[in-house]
Amino acid sequence: MIRVEDLWRTYKMGDQELHALCGVNETIEDGDHVAIMGPSGSGKSTLLNILGCLDSPSRGQYFLAGEDVAGLSGDALADVRLRRIGFIFQSFHLVPRLTALQNVELPMIFGGVHPAERRERAEAALVSVGLAHRAGHKPNELSGGQKQRVAIARATVMGPGLLLADEPTGNLDSRTGAQVLDLLSRLHREGRTLVVVTHDPGVARRADRVLVLRDGQIVRRVAGDEVTDLGSLFAEELVSA
């Protein structure tokens, strides 16, 4: 379970302070599928980075499975990222000189997994995303959708319970994007908690619920199937109870 309490993230800009997050409170239960939406600069990616232990709050608490990870050391946070969280990015972040199989193996190298087991688990992960036949191909030999599926295999190979996706279909055409979303939905049905940052109402509609951010605050919480268009969702006069 994820719980954030009075979460703030403040950046210094010369003599000024920029509040990217302002007192955010939220709970995400195990197995939830949550979308985070909001206008550019609303704090979506900042919140996702804190949930992923890529950034730390300026103040407030972040509990992951009951542990206050906001106060952990850098090494401890790195271990949380490695073993408990899978990341999926818009730009894939694959290592160009490595094959698909080698890219999927990377987290296990850092995790100290034996080479034979690494190979077996990486091959199984590529099978699970339908890319066993592309195991020996490098990223420049793969389509955008194939790159994202390799990235998903890499994100799940350590068996994390939490998947965080930042605009996972942003660089894909609509048909390929739908295939990637189907894959993410399958992973969610298998029991993983899924949190997705998106600008796309179609992506948000797949979620159980949607958090709408504006100026670093959650201003609306709606069911995914209630999302129609961004104009009504981001309307200034609508605020959460």
Q: Tens digits of per-residue pLDDT, 43-65?
A: 999 999 999 999 999 999 999 99
* Structure-token match 């939830």, residue found: 32
What single string gives the DSSP state of each residue in 137-170?
--GGGS-HHHHHHHHHHHHHTT--SEEEEESTTT
Please classify residue 153 by burial: count the beta carbons closer than 10 Å to its beta carbon, then call 0-12 exposed, 13-18 middle and 19+ buried.
buried
Amino acid 132 reads: A
* Cα–Cα distance measured from residue 239 to residue 231, given in angstroms and rounded to the nearest whole number: 14
Cα–Cα nearest to 21, from 5, 10, 12, 36:
10
* Cα–Cα distance measured from residue 214 to residue 37, given in angstroms and rounded to the nearest whole number: 9
List phi, psi (to 5°) of 148. -70, -35
* Cα–Cα distance measured from residue 32 to residue 26, given in angstroms and rounded to the nearest whole number: 13
The CATH number for 2-233, chosen from 3.30.565.10, 3.40.50.300, 3.30.930.10, 3.30.300.20, is 3.40.50.300
User: 216-238, pLDDT tens digit by residue?
Assistant: 999 999 999 988 876 667 765 44
Query: Which residues of the chain carry a pLDDT beneath 70?
Result: 230-232, 235-241
Spell out the residues 6+ positions from residue 65 whose beta carbon is closer than 8 angstroms to its own: 1, 84, 161
Cα–Cα nearest to 8, from 43, 61, 49, 59:
59
pLDDT of residue 172: 92
Q: Would you call 125 helix, strand, or coil by DSSP?
A: helix
Please classify residue 129 by burial: count the beta carbons closer than 10 Å to its beta carbon, then call 0-12 exposed, 13-18 middle and 19+ buried.
buried
* Cα–Cα distance measured from residue 205 to residue 148, given in angstroms and rounded to the nearest whole number: 21
pLDDT of residue 231: 64
What tokens were used for 55?
């950034």
